[in-house]
C-alpha cells in the first residue's frame, strides 16, 4: 500500500469510525448472531491474490458488524465499561503508524521516556504516593491487562520472599497466596502460572455486610500456613471487586501483610481511576502506606482504548531481578550504562507497543478537569439510577454502590429463592435479547443479582432513564 493509497483508504476508515460513533445507537447493543454464524460467512481459505481494501470494508459492514457487540453504545451497562475515545483511537493509530517495538530504551527512546512521564503523571492525578514515581525506587509501567499486572506482582513477590531462590532453583517450598471469594480470577490463574498452584490459594472470609476481606481471618490463615511450614507470599486486596465493587479494607489488610512480611498487591482495575476526583480518593486508603504493587486500568473507565493497564511498584527491584535476562542480541551501551529504563524487565513479553501515546493523547485532550468530569458524570448517573431502584418497592437495592455500578434485583415475593433467581435471569436475558440495552448478572449471598454499570462517555441521563423504564416494564 503506497502512502497515497494509505491516505485515501485511511480517510475512508476514519470516516467509517466517525460514522460509527455518530450512529452507534442504531445498533442492537448485544450482537444477535448465533454461534458459528459469522464464521460460516467467511471463506475457509485465505486469498491467493491481494484484494482491494474496499472489499475488506464491505465485509466489515455486511459480515462482521452483525456479530459485533457495541461496547461504546450508550445503553451498554454490562460488565464494566471499556471506554474508547477519539483521542485514544487517534493516539493508537499513531502508535500503529510508527510501528515501534519499544522493548528496551535503545529500540526507541521516546517510547520508554513518554511512558515514564505518563505513568508518573497518572500517579500524581490519582493522588498515589511519591514512592510510586520513577525517580524513587518504585515506578509505574503500562501492561496489557490487570491480569498481566497480577502475574508480574506474583513473580516479584516470589523473588522477594525467596531471596531470589525461586528464579534460580524454581519453587522448592509450598508458597501460599491469599484472596477472598470476590477477588478477580486472574489471581488464581497467576498462582497456577507461577507454580504456586491452585491448592495453595487461600480464600479469606469476607465481612457479610461489606463483602470486604476480613483481616483477622487473613492473619489466622497466614499463621496456620506458617505453622505448617508454608511460605506466605502474596495477599491481593481489591478496591472495587468485579462482582459488586466491594472494597477490601486495604489499611487493615496491609497491617497484617507488614507484620507478616507478605507482599500486598492491590487490584483496583476498575475503580482505581476514580481517584482522579479528590472526593473519591478515600477508596485508596492504606495504599500509600502498605501496597507493594497497585494496578488500575485506564482501559476500563478512563477513556483509553484497550489495552492500557497501569501497574506501580513501591520498589521495582524484586520485579526486575525476577524478570531480567540479558541475551547478547539485546546488549547495548544505554542498558549497560544503567542510565535508562528497559521496560521489557517490567513485564512478561519482550516486545511492547507504544501504548503511552494513546494515554498521553487522552490526558492532553481531556486534561485533569475533563477526566474528573467524566468520572463524576458516571458516578452521578449511577447514583440517580440507584435512587430510582430504591424508590420502587418491586426491587431490592444492594448497598453500598459508591461508584458507577449498581447491583439490584426484582423481589418476586410470591416465588421461592431458586425460582426468583431463575426469573431474574430470564428477565435480564429478555432485556438483552431486545437489543435495547445490555446488563449482566452476578451472585451475592447465593442469590442472582443484576449489575448495571454506567460509565461510557456516550451515556446521558436520558439513556439511563429509558433503561430504567424498560426494566420496570419488563417485570410488569
Ligand X SMILES: *Cc1c(COP(=O)(O)O)cnc(C)c1O
Binding site for ligand X (CB under 6 A): 80, 145-147, 184, 186, 238, 241-242, 267, 269-270, 297, 309
Q: Which segments of 188-337 are extended strands (E)?
A: 201-204, 231-238, 263-267, 293-297, 309-313
Between 72 and 297, CB nearer to ligand X = 297
Sequence-ordered strand ranges (E) for 240-372:
263-267, 293-297, 309-313
Identify whether the C-beta of residue 73 lies closer than 8 Å to the C-beta of residue 27.
yes
**Closer residue to ligand X in complex, CB, 120/267:** 267
Q: In terms of CB distance, is 80 or 438 closer to ligand X?
A: 80
d(CA 265, CA 457) in angstroms, rounded, equals 30
CB of 146 to ligand X, least distance (A): 3
Find where cell 410488569 sits: 476
For ligand X, the closer CB: 172 or 185: 185
C-alpha–C-alpha distance, residues 153 and 136, integer Å: 18
The C-alpha cell at 168 is 534460580
The least distance separating ligand X from the CB of residue 75, rounded to whole angstroms, comes to 21
Q: How far apart are CA 194 and CA 190, in angstroms?
A: 6
Distance in Å, CB of 185 to ligand X, minimum: 8
Least distance from C-beta 300 to ligand X, angstroms?
Answer: 6
When the beta carbons of 405 and 471 are compared against ligand X, the nearer one is 405
Q: Which is nearer to ligand X, 162 or 186 (CB)?
A: 186
Query: Min. distance of Cβ 364 from ligand X in angstroms?
Result: 23
Which CB atom, from 108 or from 309, has the smaller least distance to ligand X?
309
Q: Which is nearer to ligand X, 264 or 340 (CB)?
A: 264
β-pair type (263-267, 293-297): parallel
Shortest CB 211 distance to ligand X, Å? 13
- DSSP state, 462? H
CA distance 388 to 372: 24
Minimum distance from residue 76 beta carbon to ligand X (Å): 15
In whole angstroms, the minimum distance from the beta carbon of 286 to ligand X comes to 17
Strand ordering across the sheet containing 293-297: 139-143, 309-313, 293-297, 263-267, 231-238, 175-180, 201-204
Q: How far apart are the C-alpha atoms of 395 and 410, rounded to whole Å?
A: 4
Phi/psi at 76 (5° precision): -85, 110
CB within 8 Å of 93: residues ≥ 6 apart: none
Amino acid at each position: 500500500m503506497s502512502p497515497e493509497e494509505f491516505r485515501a483508504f485511511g480517510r475512508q476508515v476514519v470516516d467509517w469510525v466517525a460514522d460509527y460513533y455518530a450512529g452507534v445507537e442504531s445498533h442492537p447493543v448485544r450482537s444477535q448472531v448465533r454461534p458459528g454464524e459469522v464464521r460460516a460467512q467467511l471463506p475457509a481459505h485465505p486469498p491467493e491474490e491481494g484484494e482491494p481494501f474496499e472489499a475488506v470494508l464491505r465485509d466489515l459492514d455486511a459480515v462482521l458488524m452483525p456479530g459485533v457487540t457495541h461496547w461504546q453504545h450508550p445503553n451498554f451497562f454490562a460488565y464494566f465499561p471499556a471506554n474508547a475515545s477519539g483521542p485514544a483511537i487517534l493516539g493508537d493509530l499513531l502508535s500503529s503508524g510508527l510501528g515501534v517495538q519499544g522493548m528496551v530504551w535503545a529500540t526507541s527512546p521516546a517510547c520508554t521516556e513518554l511512558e515514564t512521564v505518563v505513568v508518573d503523571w497518572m500517579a500524581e492525578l490519582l493522588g498515589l504516593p511519591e514512592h510510586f514515581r520513577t525517580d524513587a525506587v518504585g515506578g509505574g509501567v503500562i501492561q496489557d491487562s490487570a491480569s498481566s499486572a497480577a502475574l508480574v506482582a506474583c513473580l516479584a513477590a516470589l523473588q522477594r520472599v525467596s531471596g531470589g531462590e525461586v528464579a534460580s532453583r524454581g519453587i522448592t517450598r509450598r508458597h501460599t497466596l491469599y484472596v477472598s471469594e470476590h477477588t478477580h480470577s486472574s489471581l488464581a490463574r497467576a498462582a497456577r502460572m507461577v507454580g504456586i498452584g491452585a491448592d495453595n490459594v487461600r480464600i479469606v472470609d469476607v465481612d457479610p455486610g461489606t463483602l470486604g476481606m476480613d483481616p483477622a481471618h487473613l492473619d489466622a490463615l497466614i499463621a496456620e500456613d506458617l505453622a505448617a511450614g508454608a511460605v506466605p507470599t502474596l495477599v491481593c486486596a481489591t478496591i472495587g471487586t468485579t462482582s459488586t465493587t466491594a472494597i477490601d479494607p486495604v489499611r487493615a489488610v496491609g497491617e497484617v501483610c507488614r507484620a507478616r512480611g507478605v507482599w500486598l498487591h492491590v487490584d483496583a482495575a476498575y475503580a482505581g481511576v476514580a481517584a482522579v476526583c479528590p472526593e473519591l480518593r478515600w477508596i485508596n486508603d492504606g495504599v500509600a502506606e502498605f501496597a507493594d504493587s497497585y494496578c488500575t486500568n485506564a482501559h476500563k473507565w478512563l477513556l483509553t482504548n484497550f489495552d492500557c493497564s497501569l501497574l506501580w511498584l513501591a520498589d521495582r527491584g524484586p520485579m526486575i531481578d525476577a524478570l531480567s535476562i540479558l541475551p547478547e542480541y539485546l546488549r547495548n551501551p544505554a542498558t549497560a550504562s544503567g542510565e535508562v529504563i528497559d521496560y521489557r524487565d517490567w513485564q512478561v513479553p519482550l516486545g511492547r507497543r507504544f501504548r503511552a501515546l494513546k494515554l498521553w493523547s487522552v490526558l492532553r485532550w481531556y486534561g485533569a478537569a475533563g477526566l474528573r468530569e467524566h468520572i463524576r458524570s458516571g458516578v452521578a448517573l449511577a447514583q440517580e439510577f440507584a435512587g430510582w431502584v430504591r424508590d420502587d418497592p418491586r426491587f431490592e437495592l444492594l448497598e453500598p454502590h459508591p461508584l458507577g455500578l449498581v447491583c439490584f434485583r426484582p423481589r418476586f415475593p410470591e416465588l421461592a429463592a431458586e425460582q426468583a433467581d431463575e426469573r431474574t435471569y430470564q428477565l435480564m436475558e429478555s432485556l438483552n435479547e431486545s437489543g435495547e440495552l445490555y446488563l449482566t448478572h452476578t451472585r451475592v449471598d447465593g442469590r442472582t443479582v443484576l449489575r448495571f454499570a454506567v460509565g461510557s462517555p456516550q451515556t446521558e441521563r436520558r439513556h439511563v432513564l429509558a433503561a430504567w423504564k424498560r426494566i420496570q416494564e419488563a417485570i410488569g
